Amino acid sequence: MRRIRWLSVIVPVVAVAIIELVSDGLLDAAFPFPIDTVVVTALVAVLAWGFSTIAFRRIDVLSSTLRARNVDLERRAASARALHRVSVAIAALADVDEILRAIVDQARALLEVDVAVLVTQGADGEAHVAASSGPDDGVDRAGGFAGSGAGVSRFVRPDLATARLEAPLQRAGETIGLLMVGSRLERGFEVDEVETLSALANQAAIAIENARLQARLRELAVDAERERIAREMHDGLAQVLGYVNTKSQAIEELLVAGRTTEARGLLAELAAAARSIYVDVREAILGLRSPVDPGVGLVAAIEDYAARFAEASKIAVRVEAADAARRLDLAPDVEAQVFRIVQEALTNVRKHSGAGRAEISFAANDGRLEVVIADDGHGIVDSAAPDDRPRYGIEAMRERAESIGGTVEWTSPPGGGCRVHLAVEAEAPREPAVTRAV
């Protein structure tokens, strides 16, 4: 363009100068007026036509190049928009099948092909069609098209895969599937089309991996709740039922012997055991719910739980939280695990400590949430549980703390009672310190 700009100035100037010299030196002597003027005009017209032809040809070439680049940019922009839409769908992750269908539809539209098919490896090790886009009879999910080979093409009608392009789905270096597009016509695929298909294949791999991880998380959550319920039943319900069975047999023998006064005493003990197990069952049922509702906050949720716990157990519970602790922004899983640890600590207070009062305090120190649960009971007694029965409550608290990168410790202060100290990393500081006794 710079050369054309200078030529557009220099060439006319040189041409006019040459014509003027020729006109003054030769034409005036060879031709009378007005023939010399006609000759000069014709010569100028020829030079102007030649110069404009060259200039406009160059401009046409540049315009054609610019149009081609605009088309390429528009195609790339369309690919980027399509990838953005797919990314948004993956983030929502409402249904992985819908996401995969959207991916094959986008692949078919962006690459302007006749069919697109996404194949994944099933649990049986065989390839399965996860999603497809194209004519209804263009894809056979059983892979029965004759003469199509043993690869992905066996799922696609041969005439729709005259030209085809494939991109693998990768997960940690492992191929978990393949995205293929096919066309009826013989054609080549440009570099940007290969990149687009690869990007869509990567999005499909992310969607499949996210769905797998979500399913795994649900399984782990179910397993964790099963383990927690098993611990609760072993540590409470099973033992009380065994106790009830033993006492019932004793009462039966006392009644046969006519010792009704002693039988009434054992019946009173059974009633007390029944009330205790009723509290345990209520706690287990409440534990099945999400412990901290969104927008409520961890401290408020524990205050509410402590009030209900105090009413059921007849143990006075005091909750104290500093401003900084209330304002800490904790992840939902951290809030849930801290709540469960406090819940387990209070359960241990009720079952094993013989305490009449308990206190829960929250503090924030150097970006860490510190929770202390203290009681006025008889402290940690190793012989409180038989040797053949593991201490499920303590193990559950330790595992929960470790799952969120925290630590939990148990000590018996010199003045008596038990002190449970939980510390967990938190994020930056949410309203004023409140002390509540229930």
Write down the pLDDT at residue 143: 80
Rounded (to 5) percent helix, strand, coil in the chain: 60, 15, 25
Q: What is the 3-state secondary structure (H, E, C) of 163-202?
A: EEEEEEEEECCEEEEEEEEEECCCCCCCHHHHHHHHHHHH
3-class SS at 432?
Answer: coil
Strands 434-437, 419-425: pairing is unpaired
Quote the pLDDT of residue 390. Answer: 40
Q: Give pLDDT, residue 350.
A: 85
Task: Supply the pLDDT for residue 340.
Answer: 87
Rounded to 10 degrees, what is the CA torsion of 340, 346, 350, 352?
Answer: 90
Residue by residue, pLDDT tens for the chain (438 residues) are: 566 666 666 766 777 777 666 666 665 566 566 666 676 677 777 777 877 787 788 888 888 888 888 888 887 787 777 777 766 765 665 678 888 888 898 888 888 899 999 999 876 678 889 999 999 888 888 887 765 555 777 888 888 888 989 999 988 888 889 999 999 998 888 888 888 889 889 888 888 888 888 888 878 877 777 776 776 666 566 777 777 888 888 888 888 888 888 888 888 888 887 777 777 676 666 655 556 777 778 999 999 889 988 888 889 999 999 988 888 888 888 888 899 899 889 988 887 888 899 999 999 988 889 999 999 988 776 544 443 334 556 777 888 888 888 999 999 888 788 999 999 987 544 444 444 444
Q: What pLDDT sits at residue 40? A: 66
Q: Which residues of 352-374 are buried (b: 16+ CB within 10 A; e: fewer)?
A: bbebebbbbbbbbeeeebbbbbb
- Signed CA dihedral, 311, 312, 313, 319: sign only: negative
Q: What is the pLDDT of residue 362?
A: 95
What pLDDT was estimated at residue 363?
93
Specify the pLDDT at position 17. Answer: 73
pTM of the model: 0.48
Rg from Cα positions in the chain: 41
